[in-house]
Amino acid sequence: MPLPKLQQIPAEIAALADYERFARERLSEQAWAYLAGGAADELTLADNRAAFDRLRLRSRVLRDLSGGNTRLRLFGQDFDHPIFLAPVAYQQLAHPDGELASVLAAGAVRAGMLVSTQASVELETIAAAAQTPLWFQLYIQPDRDFTAALVRRAEAAGYQALVLTVDAPVSGVRN
């Protein structure tokens, strides 16, 4: 049986990775497998993890940081910092509020958010709760009319960019 929801951040959590144990204890096996897993043999997941682990912050000590900021302009939009919530499908597997909790968090830290084609909350409902820019991550559907309708819905709801996800062929394999 899953443990109760956390009411505050436990003292033993010092970094993002520390949440993993707490999440695993509180999610069903099926939800954990979906959220923590990768496709097929998880080779890309392992490569992405290794690439992320190689990133290092470079210290800039004794430097004049007056006027420093993390702002950026991307596709004609201004952001306070280069942090975006990635498109994660079926967020209600992790929390009953699903993407509504995520869009609330994005607004609290003024981060952009990409909303998955497979969100568990309707695009329009997420957009109505948004306080920061939303982008729509689109998987092209076999039914092109349905795909076009998704794009029109996102545009009408105020999503400011379309992020197209495509499947790339596996190296050495012809489609």
Domain count within the chain: 2
On whether residue 62 sits in a domain, the answer given is no
Is there a single domain that holds both residue 111 and residue 50? no
75 and 40 part of one domain? no
What is the token pair recorded at 126? Answer: 């997420």
Whole-angstrom distance, CA of residue 141 vs CA of residue 5? 36
Closest CA to 133 of 175, 80, 65, 56: 80
pLDDT in tens, 1-26: 666 777 888 899 998 889 899 889 88
What is the structure's pLDDT at 75? 87
Q: Which amino acid is at 2?
A: P
Model confidence pLDDT, tens digit, residues 101-153: 999 999 999 999 999 999 999 999 999 999 999 999 999 989 999 999 999 99
Q: Is residue 60 part of a domain?
A: no
pLDDT, residue 170, reads: 56
7 and 91 fall within a common domain = no
At 5 the pLDDT is 72
Give bridge partners of residue 163 from the DSSP assignment: 137
Q: Are residues 81 and 143 in the same domain?
A: yes
Q: Is residue 61 part of a domain?
A: no
Residue 59 maps to a domain: no
Number of other residues whose CB lies within 10 A of the CB of residue 81: 13
The helix or strand, by DSSP H or E, that contains position 136, with its residue range, turns out to be: strand 134-139
Question: How many residues does this entry show for the chain?
Answer: 175
Residue 2 confidence (pLDDT): 62
Q: Are residues 96 and 175 in the same domain?
A: yes
Is residue 65 in a domain?
A: no
Q: In this structure, are 106 and 166 located in the same domain?
A: yes
Range of the domain at 46: 1-54
Residue 141 within a domain: yes
Residue 171 has pLDDT above 80, yes or no: no
The residues, ordered by sequence, that sit 6+ positions from 162 with a Cβ below 8 Å of its Cβ are: 135, 136, 138, 151, 154
If asked whether residues 91 and 151 sit together in one domain, one would say yes
| Residues 43 and 114 occupy one common structural domain | no
How many Å separate Cα 57 from the centre of its chain?
A: 22
* pLDDT of amino acid 17: 86
pLDDT > 60? residue 173: no
pLDDT digits (tens, 9 = 90+) for 47-83: 999 999 999 988 888 889 899 899 999 988 889 999 8
Question: How much is the pLDDT for 51?
Answer: 96
Are 16 and 86 part of one and the same domain?
Answer: no
Same domain, 117 and 147: yes
The Cα–Cα gap between 175 and 169 comes to: 7
Residue 88: predicted pLDDT: 93
Q: List all residues 6 or more positions away from 4 whose beta carbon is below 8 Å from its beta carbon.
A: 26
- 117 with 96: CB under 8 angstroms? no
Partner residues linked to 84 by β-bridges: 112
In a domain, 43, yes or no: yes
pLDDT at 175: 43
